């Protein structure tokens, strides 16, 4: 807190001295460029206090001095075509203005509701886009210590479809398992499953052996794994796995169409009112 007060006092003192002398007093200089207290407005977001606010101000000042120093040396050592540079700045500025207008149009006009029927139609009409590049699996697994009790009984319960026995297994896992997933019906890419359990120790040729228990020992822990379902690479991805991707593709297409319609409308209106002319 003392450092916060010091920083505040420095800034207030700078402002006070500025008022007294009739000219601003800088808080930093880099070559012939100066940073003033008013330039720091907005650097610290509302609600940020203490050491965090000090670090933000210091980081901003450090970044500013570095950028000004680099700019100074660049200006002295690079021969610039001023007209070309100004043209690039104008093009960049114009691009930003148009981009902001397009984003405002999208926020106001874009229909973001994508129905299941639209997703299904897109999926059916573009089969080539949804070919699997790696296998996907539905799995159940239990991670236990190698000396966990009643392992033979656990394996039997694990393969059972009886509701009461599944309930018993759930209670057992809650007591003894460090990780488990018994009723997960989602599809996962094999590369994503590696973070959950050592799936790499199951041969890809065995992915079709659904319903059996694979036992893997790693780091003195026992993994019991059942592959509930599988799909191999170069086969069609299930809709449930790519549903969100399709929704994003549809929305992106709508954005492109909306912007294209806006541009056409503006150009047609400009031509109709003779606001555009091309001279030969």
Rounded distance, CA 190 to CA 130, Å? Answer: 16
Q: Which pLDDT does position 11 carry in this prediction?
A: 55
Q: Does residue 141 share a domain with residue 226?
A: yes
Q: Which residues pair with 171 in a beta bridge?
A: none
* 48 located within any domain: yes
Give domain status of residue 85, yes or no: no
Angle 163-176/151-159 helices, nearest 10 degrees?
A: 130
Q: How many separate domains does the chain show?
A: 3
Q: What pLDDT sits at residue 6?
A: 47
Residue 276 lies in a domain: no
For residue 147, give the 3-state DSSP assignment: coil
Question: Are residue 245 and residue 170 in the same domain, yes or no?
Answer: no
Look up the pTM and report it.
0.70
32 and 67 both lie in a single domain: yes
The pLDDT tens digits along the chain (280 residues) read 445 444 554 555 555 555 455 567 899 999 999 999 888 888 888 888 888 888 888 999 999 999 999 999 988 888 878 888 899 999 999 999 999 999 999 999 999 999 999 999 999 999 889 999 999 999 999 999 999 999 999 999 999 999 999 999 999 999 999 999 998 999 999 999 998 899 999 999 999 999 999 999 999 999 999 999 999 999 999 999 999 999 999 999 999 999 999 999 999 999 999 999 888 7
Q: CATH number, domain at 150?
A: 3.10.50.40
Angle at which helices 2-21 and 50-77 cross, to 10°: 50
For residues 111 and 197, membership in a common domain is answered with no
Question: Which residues span the domain enclosing 31?
Answer: 2-78
Note whether 52 and 177 are same-domain residues: no
């Amino acid at each position: 807190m003392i450092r916060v007060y010091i920083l505040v006092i420095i800034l207030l003192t700078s402002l006070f001295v500025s008022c007294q002398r009739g000219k601003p007093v800088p808080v930093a200089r880099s070559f012939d460029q100066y940073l003033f207290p008013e330039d720091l407005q907005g650097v610290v977001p509302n609600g940020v206090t203490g050491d965090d606010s000090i670090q933000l101000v210091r980081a901003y000042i450090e970044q500013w001095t570095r950028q000004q120093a680099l700019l100074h040396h660049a200006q002295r050592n690079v021969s610039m075509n001023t007209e070309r540079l100004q043209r690039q700045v104008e093009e960049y500025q114009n691009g930003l203005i148009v981009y902001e207008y397009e984003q405002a149009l999208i926020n106001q006009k874009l229909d973001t509701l994508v129905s299941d029927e639209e997703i299904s139609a897109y999926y059916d009409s573009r089969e080539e886009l949804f070919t699997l590049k790696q296998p996907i699996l539905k799995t159940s697994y239990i991670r236990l210590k190698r000396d966990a009790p009643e392992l033979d009984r656990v394996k039997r319960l694990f393969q059972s479809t009886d509701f009461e026995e599944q309930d018993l297994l759930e209670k057992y896992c809650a007591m003894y398992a460090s990780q488990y997933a018994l009723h997960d019906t989602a599809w996962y890419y094999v590369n994503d499953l590696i973070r959950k359990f050592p799936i790499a120790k199951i041969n890809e040729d065995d992915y079709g052996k659904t319903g059996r228990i694979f036992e893997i020992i790693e780091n003195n822990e026992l993994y019991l794994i059942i592959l509930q379902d599988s799909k191999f690479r170069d086969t069609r991805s299930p809709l449930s796995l790519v549903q969100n991707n399709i929704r994003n593709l549809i929305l992106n297409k709508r954005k492109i169409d909306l912007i294209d319609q806006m541009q056409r409308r503006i150009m047609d209106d400009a031509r109709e009112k003779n606001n555009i002319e091309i001279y030969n």
